[in-house]
Amino acid sequence: MLDLDIAKLSALSPFELKDQLAAAASSDAERLMLNAGRGNPNFLAMLPRHAFLSVGEFAMQEAGRSYAYLDSGFGGLPEARGIVQRFEAYAMHRPGSEGVNFLRKAIAYVKDQLGLDRDAFLFEMVAAFLGCNYPTPPRMLTHMEEIVKAYLVQEMFGAVPSNGDFSLFATEGGTAAMTYIFQSLAVNRLIRPGDKIALATPIFSPYLEIPALAEYDLDVVDVRMDGHDDWQLPDAEMAKLLDPAVKVFCLVNPSNPPSTRLSSATLDALARLVSTARPDLIIVTDDVYGTFADDFVSVFARCPRNTLCVYSFSKFFGATGWRLGTIALHHDNVLDAALAALSTDEKALLARRYGSLTTEPDTLRFIDRLVADSRAVALNHTAGLSVPQQLQMGLFALNGLMDREGRYKTAAKQLIRKRYQTLYRSMGVDVGHGPNDVNYYTLIDLQELAGKIYGTAFERWFVQRDLGIRFLFRLAEETGVVLLPGNGFEVVDTSARVSLANLTEIEYASIGKFTRQVLDEYFKDFTESVAVPAGV
Q: How far apart are CA 75 and CA 78, in angstroms?
A: 9
Residue 170 forms beta bridges with which residues? 326
DSSP state of 139: S
Residue 69's pLDDT is what? 80
pLDDT bracket for residue 532 (50, 70, 90): low
3-state secondary structure of 196: strand
pTM for the full predicted model: 0.94
Q: How far apart are CA 24 and CA 471, in angstroms?
A: 12
Write the pLDDT tens digit of every residue in 121-168.
Answer: 999 999 999 999 999 999 999 999 999 999 999 999 999 998 899 999
Q: How far apart are CA 31 and CA 45, in angstroms?
A: 31
Residue 376's pLDDT is what? 97
Span between the terminal Cα atoms of the chain, in Å: 27
Within 293-386, residue ranges assigned H as helices are 299-302, 334-340, 344-354, 366-373
Q: How far apart are CA 83 and CA 122, in angstroms?
A: 7
Report the pLDDT averaged over residues 14-42.
84
pLDDT at 429 over 80: yes
Task: List C-alpha distances in Å: 442 to 20, 54, 511.
Answer: 21, 38, 13
Report the pLDDT averaged over residues 62-66.
90
3-state secondary structure of 308: strand
Residue 48's pLDDT is what? 98
Residue 535's pLDDT is what? 53
Closest-CA residue to 242 (of 212, 268, 221, 266): 221
Residue 534's pLDDT is what? 52
Residue 19's pLDDT is what? 83
Percent of the chain with pLDDT over 70: 97
The answer to whether the beta carbons of residues 149 and 400 sit under 8 Å apart is no
Higher pLDDT, 428 or 466: 428
